[in-house]
A and B are shown apart, each in its own frame.
Chain A
């Protein structure tokens, strides 16, 4: 449950986004123009802003720059129908925290908002423990309960990413961007194959699953009972 501000000029699109986000329990305010959005953003503080790149009156990026210039650090996600590949870079330079190109899957937007809202507090921690899972980033080792896991470096990074966000839905695209650190949309089953491999290693001794698929969108790590 978070307070969100959606700045989007297309009413039909806004309606779908609002419906989806409200359905997920968020409290979402809507502004249809740049100036209106800017006013709302300066008014009541929100947890995150979702804004369209092209807005009547005041361009999305200018709006964002103005907010950032005024010291507003509210996480912002830029939506854009512009297909220009440099667009993302521009969006992030203007102060956006994430960027999503239209058309997008609503669940992807929700997952990304979630990711913005729940950015891991301390990423310097090198010993992570979630349920029965335990990884040591310095030693590069992992354990499930008392069983040592034989993880490849990429699998360890993948597991680390999931363990820092327990219970949060992470999409394939997010995983690819954050774990592989490349921006492009791979064949959808590519990431699944990697996840499947990691999953098999985590459940090799017949343990209950910890990584769950979220239909059509991604995965989530649900902490299990640490005591085996």
Chain B
């Protein structure tokens, strides 16, 4: 409880609420002060004006001054009116003031002065508002009024202020507390969810309210991010599983073969044969590990040093030429349609060659004898377009998006050699160069791979993959 209180006090929302409460209290105080000041000034001015008029009237008629003063005093039954007519020597001729208030100028202006008032209980000293004017005979006429009225107004105002301010402060403080603790509860739920996620429960999500305010939007954004992270992790996991599985298969075979040969081999020749087979399986395994690492490196764009200008037409021709004998041996015709003339491009020549070789290799591998593989290079408005088409079984539309994913192998490919990484490598290489690769259907139902090399393409790290798969882990892999 204490710690929750501390948390509350420390929380930003609480401090904001407190600040707002204090500010509104200050504002109210200022308003009250201003109203009081205006009211008091008005009352004072009213009184002063009355006193001024009265003293002037008395002074204008020296003979009737004493009578006027007595009338003034008599006007008020509560003994709040004072006055006096004093001779030149200060002797009182009329009125209820014992003496001329000292320090009161005879200029007809109102001032607050001390005076001694004669009452039925004897002389009383008090603060009064008074005016004085000289009489022609050298005497003085004084008209006064007590200050109690103004003092009362002040007291009332201050009391009202005190009475109003305290509840206002308490109310706004309470409001702040309520707001703060509500935000606090919401944050606490969010923090609990985050703590759960930190502990590894990636399935948890931040609570999203119904108000669609900044908090909700933020929570939704974080949730979307968590969805993406969960998906990526899931993919890493499945890639990891696939790697482990693909490694275990040749290793299991290898182990069995070695064990059997050790027990049963009767000649050095037989042992050699077993070892050769074992080495081949190990090479296969290593090739897969190397391919995975290479895809990783290429995807992380660590291959900028190899970038230079080269002629894409030559690379396409040479890649096709590399596979010509293989295609011919398989009874497949390899048609190359590359226009004369150079197609200058910037990139890593070795990697681009490797990507093309992978595409052509796949096409040759999946094309039955008597079929055709077409390799083409054409200049389009958007850049150079490399196409590799075959007359093989093709890739059904639902599988096309997955074909660039690591370890993916189309069903017909299950029986053919390959580690499911070839197209993954193609996608990674394309991504590094800012090329886009797409798979579609060739005339006759075969697969058609198209790689577009935009003219301004270069190593792009920010938005590298315009391939079907957006993220780094779900790319390429047939072959």
Contact = CB atoms under 8 A, between A and B. Distances in A.
Interface of A: 83-86, 89-90, 101, 103, 105, 154, 180, 182-187, 189-190, 193-194, 196-197, 216
Contact of B304 (A86, A105, A154): A86
B298 A85 contact: yes
B319 to A, nearest CB: 9
Given A190-B323, A194-B325, A216-B276, A184 B305 contact: no
B329 A83 contact: no
Contacts of A154: 321
Contact of A184 (B279, B303, B354): B354
Contact of A190 (B276, B286, B326, B350): B326
Contact of B290 (A83, A84, A194): A83
Contacts of B297: 83-85
Interface string B292-336: 011001100011111000000000001001110110010000000
Contacts of A101: 290
Nearest to B354: A184
Given A182-B349, A183-B350, A193 B305 contact: no
B305 A90 contact: yes
B287 interface: yes
A132 to B, nearest CB: 24
A226 to B, nearest CB: 29
A103 B318 contact: no
22 contacts: A83-B294, A85-B297, A85-B298, A85-B306, A85-B351, A86-B304, A86-B305, A90-B305, A103-B286, A180-B318, A182-B318, A182-B354, A184-B351, A184-B353, A184-B354, A185-B290, A186-B357, A193-B325, A193-B329, A194-B325, A196-B325, A197-B325
Nearest to B282: A103
A182 B287 contact: no
B302 A193 contact: no
B389 interface: no
A194 B361 CA distance: 15
A12 B431 CA distance: 39
A190 B290 CA distance: 19
Contact of A86 (B286, B290, B302): B302
Interface string B440-452: 0000000000000
Contacts of A196: 325
Given A182-B349, A184-B350, A216-B276, A84 B302 contact: yes
A86 to B, nearest CB: 4
Contacts of A186: 322, 357
A171 to B, nearest CB: 13
Contacts of B322: 180, 186, 190, 194
Nearest to A197: B325
A38 to B, nearest CB: 26
Smallest CB-CB A-B distances: 5 pairs: A83-B293, A184-B354, A86-B305, A193-B325, A183-B350
A86 B348 CA distance: 11
Nearest to B327: A193
Main secondary structure of the interface of B (DSSP, over half): helix
Contact of B326 (A83, A193, A216): A193
Interface in B263-306: 276, 279, 283, 286-287, 290, 293-294, 297-298, 302-306
Contacts of B293: 83
Contacts, number: 56
Nearest to B280: A216
A121 to B, nearest CB: 29
B394 to A, nearest CB: 22
B287 A185 contact: yes
B350 A182 contact: yes
A83 B323 CA distance: 27
Contacts of B349: 182
A198 to B, nearest CB: 10
B317 to A, nearest CB: 11
B430 to A, nearest CB: 15
Interface string B348-379: 01110110010001000000000000000000
Contacts of B323: 190
A194 B325 CA distance: 7
A88 to B, nearest CB: 9
B422 to A, nearest CB: 10
Nearest to B361: A187
A194 B324 CA distance: 9
Contacts of A216: 276, 279
Contacts of A187: 361
B305 A89 contact: yes
Indicate the member of B287, B290, B326 with the most A CB atoms within 10 Å.
B326
Contacts of B329: 193
B367 to A, nearest CB: 15
Interface in B69-117: none
A89 B308 CA distance: 13
Nearest to A188: B283
B417 to A, nearest CB: 9
Contacts of B318: 180, 182
Nearest to B286: A103
Given A85-B297, A182-B354, A197-B325, 14 more contacts: A83-B297, A86-B306, A89-B306, A180-B318, A182-B318, A182-B353, A184-B350, A184-B351, A184-B353, A184-B357, A185-B287, A186-B322, A190-B326, A193-B326
A131 to B, nearest CB: 25
A193 to B, nearest CB: 4
A66 B27 CA distance: 78
Contacts of B306: 85-86, 89
B106 to A, nearest CB: 105
B60 to A, nearest CB: 111
A177 to B, nearest CB: 10
A190 B329 CA distance: 11
A190 B320 CA distance: 12
A180 B321 CA distance: 10
A197 B322 CA distance: 12
Contacts of B326: 189-190, 193
B243 to A, nearest CB: 15
A85 B429 CA distance: 12
A182 B353 CA distance: 7
